[in-house]
Amino acid sequence: MTTEFWNGNRAAAEAARQARVEVVAAYPITPQTHTVEYLSEYVAAGRLNARLVRVESEHSALSACCGASAVGARTFTASCSQGLQLMSEVLYFASGMRFPIVMAIANRTLSVPVSIWADHQDTLVNRDCGWIQLYAASVQEVYDLVLMAFRTAEDPRVVLPAMVAYDGFILSHASEPVETLSDEVVKDLLPPAPPHLRPLLDTKDPKQLGEVLFPDFYPDIEYKKHRALEESLAVLGEAFEDFRSRTGRRLSAVETHGCADAEIVIVGLGSMMQTARHAATRLRAEGMKVGVAQVRVYRPFPERELARAVAGARTVLVLDRDIGYGSAGMVYPDVTRALYHAPSRPDVLNFIVGTGGKDITPKTIERCVELGRGGYRGMSVFWPDARGPAEGIPYTPGVKACPCG
Amino acid sequence: MSVRLKDLPTEELLHKGNLACAGCPEMIGFRHVLRALGPETIVINATGCLAVITQMGVPLVPHFHVLFENAPAVVSGIDDALRVQGRREGVNLLVVAGDGGTADIGLGSLSGAIERGQDFIYVCFDNEMYMNTGGQRSGTTPYLARTTTTPVGVESRGEPRTEMRRKDMVEIAVAHGIPYAASASIGYPLDLVERVEKAARVRGPTYIHVHSPCPTGWGMEPSKTVEAAQLAVKTGCVVLYEVEEGKRRVTRPVARRAPVEEYLKLQARFRHVVADPAALAEVQRGVDERHAAILARMA
Amino acid sequence: MGLEKYEAFVRRARSTLTYDPGWSRENMTGAWRTMRPVRDAELCTSCALCWLFCPDACIAPVTFDVDLAYCKGCGICANECKVGAISMQREPE
């Protein structure tokens, strides 16, 4: 095990290389581009025996992965934002066909207004397409989770595609120390393609794929896909445990910091949870019992793990780096669902922060705690970032909280 | 050396019980395309009639129905995966799609796959409209043809885009520097088999555009499918030619073209044209112009 | 095809849907037919055009017998026969 100084894109590419991917579909989009550039370099340098499909669009990128997967190859691609939206149709196709493709996503918001900066809008609008979704909070996690994604996606109990999301620029471009594994260790973690992943398209055993299914049987197949995704949580748990025993590094579906005695727990995805930890430590020094629960596995949603993590809390603050227009942040409904039947049902409030790459500083987190510490008072969704007629005031229905006035 | 009927293998690579309309041209074409390629073939099928009518296991070879516009991208992944695994030799990768999937929604993906030089045989069955959805116009619909989205009425005489600006898929493929491209017709299956066999011998992308008169969409008796296909060639509405490394050659020359009316009068979609001498003359002029332009490109 | 047969057809391998070739043979498309091709063996020159042009591969390659279980009665064979050896005759009610 050596320590390298890598950015998130490099970490994702190195993990894919060590996973011995056979086909990589490459198409550029900021801030993901370096991932496929690194992989191109590995192939050019003979460090990776793979074919690069330099496709002409993201739609084709994921389609090429589907083709490669249909003949039993391990495949990888990377995308984000508009590119991920262009792929949208193929996302469902990949999960419906049960292709265990792994995709890295350097999270970036959706146009317009044009922004190349991070938020989780792009992956969250695609949360229900039958893919496993993992969210990294550090470059180390990017590396670890890409390996875990391959392992879980290919497990015979799962056989579903997986995406590993990490915040654009904040993680994709910033370098951090990463403890890497040797190729041998990765080989043990990810054995060569298992027999159940034999080619589906094989002239020696001809089959027909992708055909119509009449309504009588459709629910059976949908249920099966849903169950496989649910079961992947336990499979991920096993993978995390195996990973810990080999590397000493701990991964979990929900990572908690100071939640045991916390009265207020902050819940969210991605790198902002590192900031939240920092802010929580500061607030604790001031005597406020604040904990942080980072949701690392978002699909399947770790309902029980989350409920356990916040069991003692009076108030739960859900930070959403995204917005489900006309409703609330997109993580918020998942959290409320998980806690609705909890024995001590806490107040759950939603904060829309850091959309379009707006910095989330410890001050942002402190502001959320300040607004939410009193619990529910007739309002559940707050926009501490947004300026408007009611400058800096929490959003209330009927009050425009938009910089356009 | 042209293919003779008695040389054709009689083994069928399609099971019976397909769901095609009676007199379906695509089934005639697909039958012979598979015959030409043999059992070591993987079929990647873009959404369209063929994907629907061959379901429940009609093909005896691996058959993958993908999305509407991504078949060339999927075949790219298959091509590269088989290469990296050392299993590419001896397998034909056949993409089949309609004119909608090829000339319209799938054009970008096809262009990318040809330009990258992926190794596949692309066969487009062109019935000049979207028939899987019931007959809407496409990029290859001929001038003045009636479709459900180009109806005939006081303000409209059918498809308004002139014959010269119809998408010419063979030429679009050739513009990519494709090693082999050809036009063919279901009316001439031996010629089609020869084109496909030739394409199979080429390393790299190949494109074959197969004219497929659709009795359901065009308003013809189902028995007239083959007759219409042959008339399209005899009237010069369709020119059968191949392009090998940029060199063009007419594969089925027509000594004296028949008047276009003979072809149009079989089809209800042209009833308003056949009834109107001015419109008929206009269509004839368009066909003449297009025919001359194609022949002028021959070496 | 009955639901039971269809259920048997929906075979699940690798947690996904892959269909075995040949289930279409349960679709007896001959039932669609209103006109049936009748071949006059005297006139037939065994040119095989009917075999060549049949969309449904319903004409046997050597005997030119019609597989009436699947023939949809499109009439292409009769239309293309150069010597008029095939006629289309109305199916009995």
What is the secondary structure of A103-136 as a DSSP string? EEEEE---SSS---S--SHHHHTTTTSS-EEEE-
The pLDDT of residue C6:
67
219-238 of A, contacting C, C-beta below 8 A: 221, 224, 228
Alpha helices in chain C (DSSP H): 3-9, 49-53, 76-80
The pLDDT of residue C12:
47
Same domain, A266 and A371: yes
Same domain, A203 and A307: no
Same domain, A201 and A258: no
* Residue A396 domain flag: no
CB B26 within 8 A of CB B89: no
| Residue A56 near chain C (CB below 8 Å) | no
Question: B23 to chain C: nearest residue by CA?
Answer: C74
Would you kindly state where each structural domain of chain B is located, as residue ranges? 5-296
DSSP chain B: ----GGGS----SB-S---PPTT-HHHHHHHHHHHHH-SSEEEEE-SSHHHHHTTTT-BSS-EEE--SS-HHHHHHHHHHHHHHTT--TT-EEEEEEEHIIIIITTHHHHHHHHHTT---EEEEEE-SSBTTTT-B--TTPPTT---SSS-EETTEES--S-GGGS--HHHHHHTTT-SEEEEEETT-HHHHHHHHHHHHHSSS-EEEEEE---HHHHT--GGGHHHHHHHHHHTTSS--EEEETTEEEESS--SSPPPHHHHHTT-GGGHHHHT-HHHHHHHHHHHHHHHHHHHHT--
* Residue C34 domain flag: yes
Q: Residue B79, Cβ neighbours under 10 Å: how many?
A: 28
| Residue B15 near chain A (CB below 8 Å) | no
ipTM score for this prediction? 0.96
Which of B41, B31, B42, B25 has its CA nearest to residue B8?
Answer: B31
* Residue A394 domain flag: no
Its pTM stands at: 0.95
Same domain, A219 and A153: yes
Average pLDDT per 10 consecutive residues for chain A, totaling 405 residues: 95 98 98 98 98 98 98 97 98 95 98 94 97 98 98 95 98 98 95 81 94 83 93 98 96 97 98 98 97 98 96 96 96 96 92 96 96 92 76 49 45
| CA distances from residue B57 to A150, A205, B25, B101, B245 in whole angstroms, order as listed | 32, 13, 19, 22, 37
* Residue C5 domain flag: no
Average confidence score pLDDT of chain B? 97
Residues in chain A within 8 Å Cβ distance of C19: 207-209, 211
Q: In Å, how far is A194's CA from the nearest CA of chain B?
A: 15
Residues in chain A within 8 Å Cβ distance of B91: 203
Same domain, A97 and A216: yes
- Structural domain including A366 reads 254-382
CATH of the domain at A275: 3.40.50.920
The percentage of residues in chain C with a pLDDT greater than 90, rounded to a whole number, is 71
Same domain, A106 and A23: yes
Nearest CB among B56, B61, B67 relative to A90 is that of B67
Give the pLDDT band (50/70/90) at residue C10.
Answer: low
Q: In Å, how far is C32's CA from the nearest CA of chain A?
A: 21
| SS3 label, residue A178 | strand
Query: Which residue in C18, C27, C76, C91 has the most chain B C-beta atoms within 10 A of its own C-beta, making it the best mutation to test that interface?
Result: C76
The count of structural domains within chain A is 2
* Residue A101 domain flag: yes
Take residue A265 and report the two structure tokens written for it.
């727990």
Nearest CB among B41, B81, B111 relative to A203 is that of B41
A290-295 and A254-257 strand pairing: antiparallel
146-165 of A, contacting C, C-beta below 8 A: 159
Cβ <8 Å between C72 and B16? no
Give the pLDDT band (50/70/90) at residue C7.
Answer: low
Matching residue, tokens 């006035």? A405
* Residue A133 domain flag: yes
* Residue A205 domain flag: yes
- Structural domain including C59 reads 28-90
Q: In Å, how far is B224's CA from the nearest CA of chain C?
A: 7
Q: Over the stretch B215-272, which tens digit does the pLDDT of each residue have?
A: 999 999 999 999 999 999 999 999 999 999 989 999 999 999 999 999 999 999 999 9
CATH dotted code for B5-296: 3.40.50.970
The count of structural domains within chain C is 1
The C-alpha atoms of residue A118 and residue A125 are separated, in whole angstroms, by: 14
Cβ <8 Å between A53 and B77? yes
The pLDDT of residue C11:
54
| Residue A208 near chain C (CB below 8 Å) | yes
* Residue A348 domain flag: yes
* Residue C66 domain flag: yes
The pLDDT of residue A399:
45
Give the pLDDT band (50/70/90) at residue B83.
Answer: very high
* Residue A404 domain flag: no
Q: Over the stretch B130-186, which tens digit does the pLDDT of each residue have?
A: 999 999 999 999 999 999 999 999 999 999 999 999 999 999 999 999 999 999 999
CATH of the domain at C69: 3.30.70.20
Cβ <8 Å between A71 and B85? yes
Among residues A188, A219, A247, the one where a domain terminates is A247
Same domain, A9 and A149: yes
> What kind and span of H or E run contains A53?
strand A51-53
User: How many degrees, rounded to 5, is the angle at CA B89 between CA B88 and CA B94?
Assistant: 65
